[in-house]
Amino acid sequence: MTRRRIFEVDAWSCLAPHQKGLLIGLGIGAALWAFTGTLSWIAAGVGLGSGLGLLLGRRRAHNHRPARTSVLRLSTTPRPRRTPSPRVLTEEQRESSLYAAAWFNGTRMAEGKTDRAGALKHMRETIGGFPPERYETQLDAALSGIEEAKARVAARRAKDIAEARQLDALNAVFELHYFNCRFSGHIGEYGLGPINLSEALGDLFDCEQIDEAVTRSDALIEEGWSCAYYPDDNGRQVQQLREHHPGYTDAHLHQAADWGYFMNR
């Protein structure tokens, strides 16, 4: 088959049924016109071709309808879900999970969020299969470790308070208030809560000074939240904090900006 013939076949296959019918009818009418010399045969041929194209279109639609229906039915059939296999823990992993559950629940006890019975119940639900006395001994070991950790946290807080007491009212209050806002509620503080500013600084500054310093510290902290880290910043944001909040040390200005860097990373 020549290239021209291939093109003709492809062009014919691309035609719609009514277009094929019109061409066939036009061809028949032209042939009759050439034979008889009557132009009306062309119009008759076009009408005949139009009817033929309509018939071909209906037959084509009828032949293709089952295929479309089967594809639709196939596409709407839900796929079966795979059920994940249960994870089997090694003995070492079970021991590690029990240790973590004991510390988690012991910390919740230290924070006043549960009692011993609730802690033991949660441990059994988290990692089952141990003898009842094992949960008891593991929780006791965790509580002992938590008490030691609380003592270290309390010592660190006492050191922070002692350092703050060496500063002026504005910076002393910021030092402790910033810690209260950002860190005092962390799980690593074991429920010790925020530092009481009046108890820590009340013998150095009166209530009005402390309250004013808290208000100003809140404003600095809030503006610090808008800071974001840029490699080419060159201290521009800290300088802006310095201009808007005079009286604070550079260390405290950087602390305020650092909280913003953390939030906007």
* 85 within a domain of the structure (yes/no): no
47 and 134 both lie in a single domain: no
Q: Are residues 154 and 182 part of one domain? A: no
Alpha carbons 192 and 72: distance in angstroms, whole number:
63
**62 lies in a domain?**
no
Please indicate, yes or no, whether residues 210 and 263 belong to a single structural domain of this protein: yes
Containing domain of residue 235, as a range? 169-265
Identity of the amino acid at 93: Q
Q: Residue 190, Cβ neighbours under 10 Å: how many?
A: 20
Q: How high is the pLDDT of residue 7?
A: 42
What three-state secondary structure class fits 81? coil
pLDDT digits (tens, 9 = 90+) for 203-252: 999 999 999 999 999 999 999 999 998 888 889 999 999 999 999 999 99
19: Cβ contacts below 8 Å, ≥ 6 apart: 53
Q: Which of 33, 56, 79 is the last residue of a domain?
A: 56
Q: Are residues 174 and 136 in the same domain?
A: no
The answer to whether residues 148 and 206 belong to one domain is no
Q: Clarify whether residues 122 and 135 are in a common domain.
A: yes
142/175 same-domain check: no
Q: Which residues contact 104 (CB under 8 A, 6 or more apart)?
A: none
Whole-angstrom distance, CA of residue 137 vs CA of residue 130: 11
**Helical residues (DSSP H) of the chain, grouped into ranges:** 3-13, 17-36, 40-75, 91-110, 116-126, 132-164, 169-182, 197-201, 207-224, 236-244, 250-263
Cβ 238 vs Cβ 251: under 8 Å: no
DSSP state of 187: G
Stated pTM of the model: 0.62
95, 100, 104, 97: which is closest to 188 by C-alpha? 104
CA 200/CA 129 separation, integer angstroms: 48
Confidence of residue 50 (pLDDT cuts 50, 70, 90): low
Q: What is the rounded CA–CA span in Å between residue 61 and residue 125? A: 63
> How far apart (Å, rounded) are the C-alpha atoms in residues 252 and 229?
17
| Domain end (from 99, 129, 164) | 164
Could you tell me if residue 217 is inside a domain? yes
Structure token pair of residue 80? 């079966």
* Residue 183 sits in the same domain as residue 150: no
Q: Write the pLDDT tens digit of every residue in 223-235.
A: 999 999 888 888 9
Q: Which residue type, as a one-letter code, is found at position 187? A: I
How many structural domains is the chain composed of? 3
Same-domain check for residues 148 and 188: no
Percentage of the residues of the chain whose pLDDT score is greater than 90: 61
Residue 29: per-residue pLDDT: 55
- Whose structure tokens read 């405290």? 252
